[in-house]
Homo-oligomer: A and B are copies of this chain.
Amino acid sequence: MLISEFALKTGLSRETVRFYVRLGLLHPQTTLKGGRNPYQLFRPEDVATAELIRIGQALGLSLKEIAALMEKRRKGKLPLKGRIEMMRAQLARLNRKAVELDRLRAYVRAKIEWQEDGEKGPEPTLELAT
């Protein structure tokens, strides 16, 4: 598919798509069409990649970080041990994030209950991580 269709499918603007390509987040193929400035051809897997970008962003990763992770994966140059090592690090990060998120959720839940209870007892607090 061409860029406009891809943009429509992913909900991104054409400009943003080109921006992502420049950053190396997307790797469309080049068509024979377009002469000196060949058109970019996007495949279904690129749509999946866009989805991954969205998720990464939702998790608070920067585009640079996302690009770096994808580059490593894409090259597959890492030996098995290295790949696993990398994914463990990623997982650890995700886990830390999950813990933080859970803490936040518990806090908000407690606060709602506390308010429904007429604000009796001590107001729930969110202790900062040390």
Q: Is residue A100 contacting chain B, with contact meaning CB distance below 8 A?
A: yes
Q: Is the CB of A98 within 8 A of B105?
A: yes
Q: Mark A44-55, 1 if CB is under 8 A from B, else 0.
A: 000010011001
In the complex, which residues of chain B have a beta carbon less than 8 angstroms from the beta carbon of A84?
112, 115-116
Q: Is residue A68 contacting chain B, with contact meaning CB distance below 8 A?
A: no
Copies assembled: 2
Q: Is residue A2 contacting chain B, with contact meaning CB distance below 8 A?
A: no
User: Contact partner of A98 among B52, B101, B129, CB < 8 A?
Assistant: B101
Which A residues are within 8 Å of any B CB, using their own CB?
10-11, 48, 51-52, 55, 58-60, 80, 83-84, 87-88, 90-91, 94-95, 97-98, 100-102, 104-105, 107-109, 111-112, 115-116, 125-126, 128-129
8 contacts between A and B (CB under 8 A): A55-B108, A58-B100, A58-B104, A80-B115, A84-B116, A87-B115, A94-B108, A97-B101
